[in-house]
Amino acid sequence: VLLWASLLVLAAPVSGPLAAVYKSVISVQPPWTTVFRGERVNLTCSGFHFYAQEKLQGYRWFSGKARPRETPGNTLEVRDSGQYRCQAPGSLPSNPVHLIFSSASLILQAPYSVFEGDELVLRCQKRGREKLAVVKYTWNRKIISGTDESFDLLIPKASLNNSGCYQCVGFLENAYVLKTSQINIQIQELFSRPKLEVTDSQPIEGKPVNLSCGTQLPLERPDTRLHFVFFRDNGVMISNRSGSPDLQITAIWREDSGSYWCGAETVTGGIHKRSLPLQIDVQRIPVSGVFLETQPQRDQVVKGETLVLVCSVAKGTGNTTFSWHREDTRESLGQKSQRSQKAELEIPVIGESHAGRYYCTADNGYGLIQSQAVNVTVRSIPGIKRSLVAGGTTGGSLSILLAVALLFYCWHQRKPGDGFQGDIIRRPLTVGPPGPFNPMCPAPVELQQLYINVHPRERDLVYSEIQISQPGAEGEANTFRTSLENQHVSVVYSEVKTQL
C-alpha cells in the first residue's frame, strides 16, 4: 500500500466502472473565513491535471445558485458572503469554503483549514475607534482564556481534541460587553490512522511475507514526510524507522506468529499514530518422506575412506531434528537440529566393523518419522595404493638413471676382457682378476640368482639387470650390444625391495 499523496474520491467516468479521481483545492488569503463587510478576500484554485470530466479552457468558479464563471487565471477576488468552490483543468470541483462578510461590531476570525500539529490562531476583532479592554475566549461554552495583553488565542500545536465551538467575549473600557457568534472549528487529520496489511495472514513457514502500513495525506499537504515502524506483540520493534511504508520479512517461522501493528509519525515527531493489531498465524508443514542415502553408495564403501550418511525429508518446514542409528546394534550415531530439509553425518574412517544396516529419523514437532534401513557393506582394495605406486615409479626412474651413469663410468675404467659370463638363467658368478681399483666403481660381489617373470611377495628382494656393451671393432661408438654372447659385457645387478 503506497503512501497516498492526495485525497481520492470516487466518480463515474464516461465509461467503465468507478474510478479514482482528484479534487481541486481552494485556499483563502487572508486566511480568515470571517471578515468585516467592505474588505476583500482572494481565492486561489489548484489542480493536479489527472482527470477532466470535460475540457476546460480556464478555471471555473461556483458560488451558490449563481451561474459558474471561468477565469484565465487561478485567482478570484470576492466581497460577498457565500459558499465558494472552484474547478481546475484536469480535476474535479473542490470542497466548499464558506465566507462571511460581517457588519457586526465584534467578530471572531478563524483560519479556513487547520491540521493537527499546526499553530491555531484565533483573533478577536472590533470595528470602530473604541478599543477593547479585556478579551475572553470560550470553548464549548467554557472560558479558556482571559487577557488584557493580547487579543489573540494561540494554540501552538493543535490536536483533534481542540475541535469544537469557539466564541470571543470583549469588554470595552466603559464595561460594555460584546460577544461574537460561535464558530465551529474542526481540526483536520494531517494523515489518517495507519492500516496494517499483510500479503498472507496464515503464511507457510519459511516463506516471505510483506507488511504494508497504509495511510493517507490530505490534498492540501502532499509533501508531508512520515516515518514508519513495525511492531510485534507487546511493542517488540521488528524494523527501524524508515520513510518506506513497506516491510518484507524474507522468511517467517512459527515462532514469529503473533499480533502485529505499525506506527506512523511525522519526521519532527510531533504526531504519532498506530494501526489496529493484525494477527499472523504461521503454518508449519509436518515432515514426511524421510529418506537415508550414503555417499559413496552403500555397495561402494571402501575400507579407510569416509562415509557420509545423508538424511532428507520430502516435505517439512521449520526447525527439524535429525538423528542417525544402526539397526543391528541399536546404536545412536548422532543428532542435529536445524532449519533445513537435509542434514549430513560423517564417519571419517570406515572399517569392517562399520558394515551393517543404518536408518535415520526426523521430527519438527509433529512426531518422529523414520526412514527405511540401508545396508552398508565395506570392502578392501588389494594391491598398492595409488600414491605409493606413483612415488615408487618416480623414485625408481631416478635410481635407474643414476645407476646407468655410474656403470657407464665404471665400464670406461675396466680393461678390455674383464667382465662376467653367464647363461640365460643366471647362476652365482665368480669374479675374474680385478683391474685397477677405482673408488667410484663398486668391487665385484657374488650375486644371487635372478629368475625371469618372478612375482615377489611383500618385502621380497628383487634383482634387476643392467648391461652395457663396448663399441664394436668397426668403431660403431653409438651401437650397444646387449647379447650375452659378447665377451666384453659388464653385467651389474642392483637390488630393490618392494614397498608392500
Mean pLDDT score, 9-27:
51
The residues, ordered by sequence, that sit 6+ positions from 378 with a Cβ below 8 Å of its Cβ are 301, 302, 303, 350, 351, 352, 354, 355
The helix (H) or strand (E) run that includes residue 170 is strand 164-172
| Least trusted range by pLDDT, from 186-200, 213-227, 320-334, 435-449 | 435-449
Domain 195-280, CATH 2.60.40.10 — does that match? Answer: yes
Mean pLDDT score, 393-409:
47
CB atoms within 10 A of CB 24: 23
Exposed / middle / buried, residue 418 (Cβ in 10 Å: 0-12, 13-18, 19+): middle
User: If pLDDT is split at 50, 70 and 90, which confidence band does 413 have?
Assistant: low
Q: Considering only the top CATH level, what class is 291-379? A: mainly beta
* Average pLDDT along the chain: 77
- Domain residue extents for the chain: 19-188, 195-280, 291-379, 386-497
Put residue 3 in one of left, alpha, beta given phi > 0 → left and psi -120 to 50 → alpha.
beta
Which tens digits make up the pLDDT trace of 248-298? 999 999 999 999 999 999 998 789 999 999 999 999 999 999 999 999 987
Say whether pLDDT at 405 is over 50.
yes
3-class secondary-structure state, position 121: strand
> Both ends of the chain: CA-CA distance in Å?
76
Predicted confidence at residue 466, as pLDDT, reads 47
C-alpha cell belonging to residue 350 = 570406515
User: If pLDDT is split at 50, 70 and 90, which confidence band does 299 have?
Assistant: confident
Q: What percent of the chain has pLDDT over 70?
A: 69
| Least trusted range by pLDDT, from 11-20, 298-307, 370-379, 443-452 | 11-20
Which tens digits make up the pLDDT trace of 360-386? 999 999 999 999 999 999 988 765 344
Which tens digits make up the pLDDT trace of 37-73? 999 999 999 887 555 455 667 899 999 888 888 999 9
Put residue 219 in one of left, alpha, beta given phi > 0 → left and psi -120 to 50 → alpha.
alpha
Say whether pLDDT at 303 is over 80.
yes
Predicted confidence at residue 221, as pLDDT, reads 86
Say whether pLDDT at 36 is over 50.
yes
Say whether pLDDT at 476 is over 60.
no
Say whether pLDDT at 243 is over 90.
yes
Predicted confidence at residue 84, as pLDDT, reads 95
Predicted confidence at residue 275, as pLDDT, reads 96
Predicted confidence at residue 265, as pLDDT, reads 95
User: If pLDDT is split at 50, 70 and 90, which confidence band does 495 have?
Assistant: very low
Mean pLDDT score, 483-497:
42
Say whether pLDDT at 417 is over 70.
no
CA torsion 391-396-397-402 (nearest 10°) is 130
Say whether pLDDT at 98 is over 90.
yes
User: If pLDDT is split at 50, 70 and 90, which confidence band does 149 have?
Assistant: low
Predicted confidence at residue 56, as pLDDT, reads 65
Side chain identity, residue 468: I
Predicted confidence at residue 146, as pLDDT, reads 64
195-280 and 291-379: same fold?
Answer: yes
Which tens digits make up the pLDDT trace of 306-351? 999 999 999 999 999 999 999 988 889 999 999 999 999 999 988 9
Mean pLDDT score, 384-392:
37
Architecture of the structural domain at 19-188: Sandwich (2.60)
Q: Give the integer Cα–Cα distance in Å for 390 and 380.
A: 20
Which tens digits make up the pLDDT trace of 197-215? 999 999 999 999 999 999 9
User: What pTM did the predictor assign?
Assistant: 0.61
Mean pLDDT score, 392-420:
46
